[in-house]
Structure 1
Amino acid sequence: MLGLDRVGALDGFFHLGGTSLQSAAVAVALDEANDVVVPVSQIHRTPTPHELARWLATAPRRPGAEPAPSVTGRPGPSKPVPLTPSVAKCVVLPFELVCPTTWWIEGELDLRALMAALGDIHHRHQALHARYRRTDPPTAIIPPNPGMPQLRLLADATTEHDALDQLAEAVQQPLDYTQGRNWRAALIRNKTTNRILFGIGIHHIAFDGWSYGLLVRDLSHAYTARHTGHKPTWTHPAPTLHQSYDEHTRLRNAADLQTQRTYWREQLRDLPRQGEGPATAPLEQTLAWGPKAGHTVTVTPEVLDRWDRAARDQRFSRSSYFVAAFASALRAIHQQDDIALLMVVAKRGSRVLDSAFTTRLNLNCVRVRFDGPQDDKLVLRVDETIRDLMRAQDVPFAETADDPAAGLSGEVVASLPTFVFQDNVVVPLELPGCRAEEVVDPYAREVPNGLTVEVLPRVDHALLRVTIRTDYLPYSFAEELNHHMLRFLEDGPAGTPTAG
């Protein structure tokens, strides 16, 4: 996994330069080789081959694979399917929680093949056609006839800006997942350039950043087949909702949850409210929908390279120096030395969950305590905090926030900003005879909270995208926050010379 000629039995995976994404790949590889259930948190808790081997000797083995659901004969009545916690929590969220994905298409688009390919994906993935029920606990019903997703053909636009606005309005309309309306697609042509803007909106209950790669691969495969007049054939069936639930249960049962809960109680004790803004509103209001705006800046290749070289030398992760930049910016604005933010952690590292359309996102808290005005060890301490977080990632923040022993108030929870490092694999959409170019939205349309900072890595640079709720924060706050983050990154790692 690390590309090394030799690894000693007592060498630590992360001290050798392993990343969180690679730790998920290790968990999958161990599962495939040994049919053993391996939570990613366990790679962080036992990072040497020696420690991991001792744990594997007593780890739970995976039961035999469930048969694929039958596609012949008359379907019987569907029984309620239990949901994983990350999906279940979306059942109480608004219908507006729609994740958009958009491409400009150049070339001769085969509309009939596209419509058929969308139908193929709709039938393949239960998450896209299930009816999610607001029961206690939440469940889903799989309809015997999934139907087809909605594809809207919009009237031609006169400019690219007009096309983007119209498509966003069409795709972002609320989706009633209780009725199985979980996603839609739309097309609009810019009659000036003859380019087509193609957009897909999927409710967050069935979609996340990792699902994006599955969507693009499946759409490219199905469209290619339909374009040549054939039905697509799949190497493996997609996991059912029930298989995803069972897999999550096995992973959770294999984790040391009590130790993780103890860590979170200590980590979050006496957590202060974070600045102003969303905390002035009730918690239930911060979970509602509201107007948003965004501000994006570019981290240049030169700045990124300096930090990445320091990260390799000092063994800290990319996400760590971006979290440090975010925390430092909040400190500069709020004049607080105890900064906390919610970090999105995707539950990856399972061959079942990694191939499922779903939301596998977990929120955990990163707490940053500053040590004086010039904190030269900040990034290293943030990195150690994130490593502790990854060891305790199986306990969601929501569970901790409801724990009386943690002592968190609703006001404190509502004030926490969110950090997302989008390290998902970026896959190009490949449609025969066409060229597709992904569109990066100016803000994260799907987030309901007051403040979210995302890092969007690209081939040789990165984007910092700040999304704010404008009913809580002025647009100038997003600009100021990005200014402070960019200044922190441009100043460079402690102990390294600046350019020039």
Structure 2
Amino acid sequence: MPASTGPHAVVPLAAAVAAEGVAAGDPGRPERGGDVAGRGLPEIRAAVAAALAVVTGLPADDVPWDTGLTALGVTSLEIGRICARLGDALGRPVPISQIYRQRTAAGLAEWIHATDGRPHAAPGEGTEAGDDTRAPLSPTQTFMFMKHVFKPDDLSLHSVRCWRIEGRPDRAALAAAVEYLHRRHRYLSAEYLFQEQPYVRPADLPAPPLGAFLADTEEEAKDVLARELAKPFRLVRGDVWRPVFVAVRQAHVTLFGYAVHHVAFDGGSSEVLAHDLSAAYNAYAEGRTPGLEPAPGPREVAEALEAHLPYVDLDAQREYWRRTINGMTPLEYPGGAEAPRGTPCRMIDLPLPAGLADGVRGLAQRHGVSPFAVYLSAYGQGMAELIGEHDFGVGTPVNRRGNSVLSRAAGCLIDILPLRPRTDPDASPAASIAATAGAVAEAFSAQDLSISEIAGLQLKTESTDRNRMFQTMFVLQDNGLGELALKGLPSQFFRPRYPGVSGEVHAEVWPAAGTHGRLVIGYHPDRTSGAFCTRLAEAMLDRLSGYLA
């Protein structure tokens, strides 16, 4: 996932590679001057090569040092893993934003060398794993919590994950595994409170009961699961998540899923919770106690989220956002709304054409950009074509799991960035992809400011009930889906019906969901219509097909 502006003419593919970098002389690129206390450059290059080798599968002695990392097929999630491995190897933070800023493995190694020896606190230093001490919420969590306080029945921050299980799980083992998960990941077993500022306090609260239901058919079971997972939470009482399973009478099949308030969960938590739930279930089913190492607690996570800040130039990032977020055009949807105010969200769900996801990955590598940039380019061109305006904002989540403490945690470890790709619907595929990739790279290299601080940099305008930075969200769901590995019970992840969405138009690409992947657009029918969102989905898929032709 990346952001910046770029040309709207035909651009050579080499320019697309350069577009994902940041110009020399940028305040985030340190100048080498004199000796720097710390390791020598050869040692640092060896650590960079080793991290890239583990994450990408490239031989450590054959790293292409001057090729953009996205040109190697490195995704935003893998960039977080590279930072975590480098942090462990070097004993110092490596911010995710610096990989976007430095672009190449050589540039990253030079930057680490230039900043080595800078004082910092190690992630989680002085905090025991699983520490139950109260902890501050991140700015993103604070926004989510305050939205819940004022709209406790709002469903737009429900996160849901579901699996189809062949067979019948051991109900007692599953209930015990739920209890274990509740105690292990303290964001799940916590109260969310306000005293001068919002905070989270792990509490000795009982685990949510495992909802158990029976349905005649699998379709009826999906309806029951969706209904139960869409019930509101009460964060101040520690009502944070809900597990449910539905047995199907007419088939030896069980549907299992959980809903978690977004304040305690993100896409990166899917793999963590699925792994831990599977390990706990298998242990209890065999009469054993799970032997997993303690998970990071809220205070350890809060400290780890700030460990990289001595290594970033926040003033330069503020200047970037001041230049970027003001003056965008609010979206006006042709045809207007299809339902009165307060109508629940609705969904458009289309399969991706066979081979499209693989084609996009190959195209991205040839252009030297990320798959996210290709998908976002097509989405932006499709939207611009339909609304007759190209200078609008697009919100997207960014991964904060840049060290090993955060990679093991279940919690809300994301932020939202407002991208301004200025996508020209008449640009050639190469030009549109390059411009979008440049916009993404610039925004992702300035990702260390929270969305709330970025919002505070907007110029004052007339009051509105709409988000002035963006009204549409775009998400590439390339997180691991989370394999539920219950012994003797084959299972498959399926994308459930969402209880709500946060943006007026919320688009998600699931490249690995089902045989061909899915394009899902959730929308607020009191803002726009299903007819418009269907045309938007079709326009995006048409653009992608044209890119690959």
Q: Which moved more, 1:422-431 or 1:14-23?
A: 14-23
Cα shift at 1:8: 6.2
* Equivalent AA in structure 1 for residue 299 of structure 2: H
Q: What is the aligned counterpart of 2:111 among 30, 49, 52?
A: 52
Alpha-carbon distance in structure 1 between the residues aligned to 2:285 and 2:298: 30
Which deviations, in whole Å up to 9, do the C-alpha atoms of 1:13-72 show, x marking residues without a partner? 34554332232122111111111022100222233244223344144444374353689x
Contact 2:501 2:523 in 1 (8 A): no
Q: What is the aligned counterpart of 1:256 among 313, 317, 324?
A: 313
Match of 1:219, SS state, is helix
Cα shift at 1:79: 5.8
Cα shift at 1:358: 0.8
1:85 aligns with 2:139: yes
2:455 is matched with which residue? Answer: 401
* Equivalent AA in structure 2 for residue 23 of structure 1: I
C-alpha change, 1:331 and 1:49, in structure 2 (3 Å) is closer
C-alpha change, 1:253 and 1:492, in structure 2 (3 Å) is same
Count of matched residue positions in the alignment of Structure 1 and Structure 2: 478
Match of 1:441, SS state, is coil
Match of 2:416, SS state, is strand
Q: What is the aligned counterpart of 2:439 among 382, 385, 389?
A: 385
1:74 is matched with which residue? Answer: none
Cα shift at 1:471: 2.2
Match of 1:297, SS state, is strand
Which deviations, in whole Å up to 9, do the C-alpha atoms of 1:380-438 show, x marking residues without a partner? 11011111111001113332222245879644627520011112122321111212222
1:267 is matched with which residue? Answer: 324
Alpha-carbon distance in structure 1 between the residues aligned to 2:268 and 2:243: 19
Q: What is the aligned counterpart of 2:304 among 199, 224, 247?
A: 247
Cα shift at 1:476: 1.2
Cα shift at 1:195: 1.8
Match of 2:257, SS state, is strand
1:150 aligns with 2:209: yes
Q: Give the TM-score taking structure 2 as reference length.
A: 0.81
* Equivalent AA in structure 1 for residue 294 of structure 2: P
Identity score, percent: 26
Contact 1:277 1:415 in 2 (8 A): no
Contact 1:104 1:439 in 2 (8 A): yes
1:298 aligns with 2:377: no
Contact 1:269 1:407 in 2 (8 A): no
1:422 aligns with 2:481: no
C-alpha change, 1:55 and 1:93, in structure 2 (3 Å) is farther
Contact 1:87 1:205 in 2 (8 A): yes
Q: What is the aligned counterpart of 1:126 among 186, 198, 213?
A: 186
* Equivalent AA in structure 2 for residue 265 of structure 1: R
Alpha-carbon distance in structure 2 between the residues aligned to 1:176 and 1:441: 22
C-alpha change, 1:406 and 1:299, in structure 2 (3 Å) is farther
2:3 is matched with which residue? Answer: none
Alpha-carbon distance in structure 1 between the residues aligned to 2:160 and 2:248: 19
1:492 aligns with 2:544: no
1:115 aligns with 2:175: yes
1:344 is matched with which residue? Answer: 397
Q: Which moved more, 1:314-323 or 1:164-173?
A: 164-173
Which deviations, in whole Å up to 9, do the C-alpha atoms of 1:300-319 show, x marking residues without a partner? 34333433322212201100
Q: What is the aligned counterpart of 1:167 among 217, 225, 250?
A: 225
**With CA pairs under 8 Å and 6+ residues apart, which has the higher RCO, 1 or 2?**
2
Q: Which moved more, 1:117-126 or 1:406-415?
A: 406-415
C-alpha change, 1:371 and 1:122, in structure 2 (3 Å) is closer
* Equivalent AA in structure 2 for residue 292 of structure 1: C
Alpha-carbon distance in structure 2 between the residues aligned to 1:55 and 1:88: 35
Which deviations, in whole Å up to 9, do the C-alpha atoms of 1:212-267 show, x marking residues without a partner? 11110000000010001111011x21111001111112223432111111111111
Cα shift at 1:102: 1.6
Alpha-carbon distance in structure 1 between the residues aligned to 2:492 and 2:79: 31
Contact 2:225 2:257 in 1 (8 A): yes
In structure 2, list runs of 5 or more residues that go unmatched: 1-51
* Equivalent AA in structure 1 for residue 173 of structure 2: A
* Equivalent AA in structure 1 for residue 270 of structure 2: Y
1:473 is matched with which residue? Answer: 528
* Equivalent AA in structure 2 for residue 445 of structure 1: P
Q: Which moved more, 1:418-427 or 1:445-454?
A: 445-454
2:159 is matched with which residue? Answer: 99
Alpha-carbon distance in structure 1 between the residues aligned to 2:516 and 2:76: 20
1:441 is matched with which residue? Answer: 496
Q: Note the aligned Cα RMSD (angstroms).
A: 2.7
1:13 aligns with 2:13: no
1:456 is matched with which residue? Answer: 510
Contact 1:10 1:50 in 2 (8 A): no
Q: Which moved more, 1:80-89 or 1:368-377?
A: 368-377
In structure 1, list runs of 5 or more residues that go unmatched: 72-77
Contact 2:71 2:367 in 1 (8 A): no
Which deviations, in whole Å up to 9, do the C-alpha atoms of 1:254-313 show, x marking residues without a partner? 321111111111112321112249999xxxx99xx7501111222234333433322212
Alpha-carbon distance in structure 2 between the residues aligned to 1:388 and 1:108: 49
1:369 is matched with which residue? Answer: 422
Which deviations, in whole Å up to 9, do the C-alpha atoms of 1:432-487 show, x marking residues without a partner? 12122222124x33423311000112187432111111222221122111110111
Q: Which moved more, 1:423-432 or 1:408-417?
A: 408-417
C-alpha change, 1:277 and 1:19, in structure 2 (3 Å) is same
1:217 is matched with which residue? Answer: 275
* Equivalent AA in structure 2 for residue 347 of structure 1: R
Contact 1:421 1:455 in 2 (8 A): yes
Q: Give the TM-score taking structure 1 as reference length.
A: 0.88
Contact 2:478 2:512 in 1 (8 A): no
Contact 2:325 2:458 in 1 (8 A): no
Contact 1:303 1:492 in 2 (8 A): no
